[in-house]
Amino acid sequence: MNAIYILWLRQLKRYFRSKSRIVGSLGQPLLFLLALSFGFGPIFQKAGGGNYLEFLAPGVIAMGILFTALFSGIEIIWDKQFGFLKETLVAPVTRLRIMIGRTLGGATIALIQGIIVLIIAYFIGFRLSSINLFLAFVFMFLVAIIFTALGTTIASLLEDMQGFQLIMNFLVMPIFFFSGALFPLNDLPRSISLISGANPLTYGVDGLRGALTGVSQFSLGTDLSVLILTSAVLLVLGGYLFSKIEI
């Protein structure tokens, strides 16, 4: 066993031991799937958009991943306040490996969360028309890595949970709304499509939609490259800031 593995394992054990966390974090995606697909479905269809659930499900899966991944940063603040971070920081392991272990742990949990949403969507009636599940998992995992690393980056800069929660509330909704998760990005005003274009989740949602339903705005190659590049940048940035933490 090595350090990265045990850090990853710790995150997973904590996740599976907290049943309320698993159930609680599924409430929102479930609500979005049900309310929006039944509410907007008919209008979307009439406007010629096709089956709305098919459009929406990849977006809500990405949302489940986004929320879980970003908020996993709070575990760093948690560990800072409850002292466990010190135990890892005095161990003969480089900060970079600690950060990688934690990020992989957080990302795996976010991925699991995404898969659960996918299963729920299936039971609501979402059908995979193109079944490149492997590619879908790749996109889901990249989204998970990006936003876990972003959560780590932000958490490394902060001392308290309230501050973290505040910043998250400012970030999460815009990232989600301007990602094409809920509505197509084709005919938006220029300013909004600029924001969407700079939002990494846009490419995650698009890639996931392409992999699951066969319809996407960009080429999957574009989506993949943007996501891989962004995750690399955020891992480096998060790793750097994490290594600067002093307790």
Partner 1 sequence: MEEEKPIIKVVDLVRKFNEFEAVRGISFEVKHGDVFAFLGPNGAGKTTTIKMLTTLLKPTSGKILINGFDPLTQQDEVRKSFGIVFQDQSLDDELTAYENMEFHAVLYNIPAKLRKKRTEELLKFTELWERRNDLIRSFSGGMRRRLEIARGLLHHPKILFLDEPTLGLDPQTRNHIWEYIKNLNQKEKITVFFTTHYIDEAERSAKKVAIIDHGKIITRGTPDQIKEEAKAKSLEDAFIALTGKEIREEELGAGESMRYNQRLRRRRQA
Task: Give the footprint of partner 1 on this chain (CB under 8 A).
Answer: 1-3, 5-6, 10, 13-14, 17-18, 82-84, 86-93, 246-247
Q: How far is the CB of 84 from partner 1 (least distance, A)?
A: 5
Q: How far is the CB of 160 from partner 1 (least distance, A)?
A: 12
For partner 1, which is the closer residue by CB, 2 or 45?
2
For partner 1, which is the closer residue by CB, 156 or 179?
156
With 0-12 CB in 10 A as exposed, 13-18 as middle and 19+ as buried, what is 17? exposed
Other beta carbons within 10 angstroms of residue 30's beta carbon come to 16
CA 165/CA 99 separation, integer angstroms: 21
For partner 1, which is the closer residue by CB, 3 or 215?
3
Other beta carbons within 10 angstroms of residue 165's beta carbon come to 14
For partner 1, which is the closer residue by CB, 1 or 23?
1
Q: How far is the CB of 82 from partner 1 (least distance, A)?
A: 7
Q: How far is the CB of 148 from partner 1 (least distance, A)?
A: 19
Is the Cα torsion angle 191, 196, 29, 125 positive or negative in sign? positive
CA 153/CA 73 separation, integer angstroms: 8
Diameter of the chain measured on Cα atoms: 62
